[in-house]
Amino acid sequence: MIYILLSILCSTCILVVFKLGERIGAKTRHIIVVGYPVSALAAAIIFSVSPADMISPWFIPAVIEGIAFYTVFRFMAISAETSGISITSIASKMSVVIPIAIGILLLGETVNSLIVLGIICGLVAIWLTVGRRVNVAGWHWPLLVFIGGGLIDSSFKLLQVNGLSEAQFPAFLTTVFTLATLVSLLHHFTYQERAINRRSIMAGLVLGAANLASTYFLMMALAIPSLDSIFVYSLNNFGTVVLAVFIALLVFREYIDNKGWAGLLLAVFSISLLYFGYLK
């Protein structure tokens, strides 16, 4: 359970970095460009991963994963610009239904009535909390965020089921973030505005550390035999929504209407249902 809590904390930290970035004059694209090499370097140093370790049977899946990481980030950025932050947030969070469906249909995981009710309440809570003033222009971008985010999350468990061991996590993640770095840099140099200011660098350092930690802790949680992926993904996703909203209220003094409060309370209720459903 501690790995899920740590993943929630780090995932929320990522959202906070982007929120603060807007306020201090850092550019989102620049933060991401700095963040990925920080993640790759941190993984290589912390876990003592050498280039030779990265050449493994999981090299090709890790390469695909790394490209997908940056691509979905860009989808999210474009979606936020064209369709608004609210609908993009919904698409990102609602994508949890994809790993849940895969867990049930492909992995044969079972759910009881409490877990099913918890998942339904959590999805409704997301809509109530972040679904206000939704603009659906450019609907295909949120759809790509939904599909891409869901498939990336699902791939972690599918790779583990097909033989990716806990001992291979460090080399796998280092490869993923290294490829994401290369793709982000290639894309960055297609822009004329390439200079990265100090504030973007500082935000990128924090983002890189949080991104690595959230992914690693999520994979560690999924590797626990007693925890079904359905429970891990649901609790991680809904927990991040609750913590992010509380930080928005307490730190950023954001306004929340009655519908938002209802969504927040429902999200807390859904987490309780998931927890007791897991103990059942």
What does the pLDDT look like over 205-239, one tens digit per residue?
A: 999 999 999 999 999 998 888 888 888 888 888 88
pLDDT at 138: 61
Question: What single DSSP character describes residue 139?
Answer: T
The confidence score (pLDDT) of residue 26 equals 85
112, 257 Cβ separation under 8 angstroms:
no
* Per-residue pLDDT band at 36 (split at 50, 70, 90): very high
Q: What pLDDT is attached to residue 44?
A: 93
Mean pLDDT, rounded, of the chain? 83
Spatial CA neighbour of 241 closest among 8, 44, 4: 8
Do you know the residue count of the chain? 280
Average pLDDT, stretch 3-32?
A: 86
Would you state the structure tokens that stand for residue 129, as one six-digit string?
């909390």
Structure-token match 């679904």, residue found: 131
Instruction: Please give the Cα distance from 43 to 46 (Å, whole number).
Output: 5
In terms of Cβ atoms closer than 10 Å to its own Cβ (0-12, 13-18, 19+), residue 17 is buried
Q: How confident is the model at residue 40 (pLDDT cuts 50, 70, 90)?
A: very high
Q: What is the pLDDT of residues 232-275, one digit of tens each?
A: 888 888 888 788 778 877 887 777 778 778 877 888 888 788 87
- pLDDT score recorded for residue 261: 81
Residue 140 predicted with pLDDT over 80 = no
